[in-house]
Each structure stands twice: as C-alpha cells, then as structure tokens.
Amino acid sequence: DILEAEEDYIDWLEAQEYQIEQMGIQNYIQSQTIDGD
C-alpha cells in the first residue's frame, strides 16, 4: 500500500542521512558513484 511504501522510502532517506553524517558528504558521494572502468 502507498503508506507502507512511503514509510519505507522515509526509512531509506533517514539511512542515507545517517551515512552522510557518519562519513561526510564527499565520501558518501564517492561511495554512491559507480566507476565505469
């Protein structure tokens, strides 16, 4: 259902925010970037 999907999305966002706080934005961005080589 829509509410459950939204709650899952909020949980995901909060997890991303926590990772940024822990590792810093530069390291977070680097960890999210896939190298094509």
Q: What share of the chain in percent tops pLDDT 90?
A: 86
Single pTM value for the model: 0.73
What is the SS3 assignment for 3?
helix
Distance CA 15, CA 24 (A): 14
User: With bands split at pLDDT 50, 70 and 90, how would you rate the model's confidence at 34?
Assistant: confident
The torsion angle over the Cα atoms of residues 15, 18, 22 and 25, rounded to 10 degrees, is 90
Q: Are 20 and 28 in contact (CB under 8 A)?
A: yes
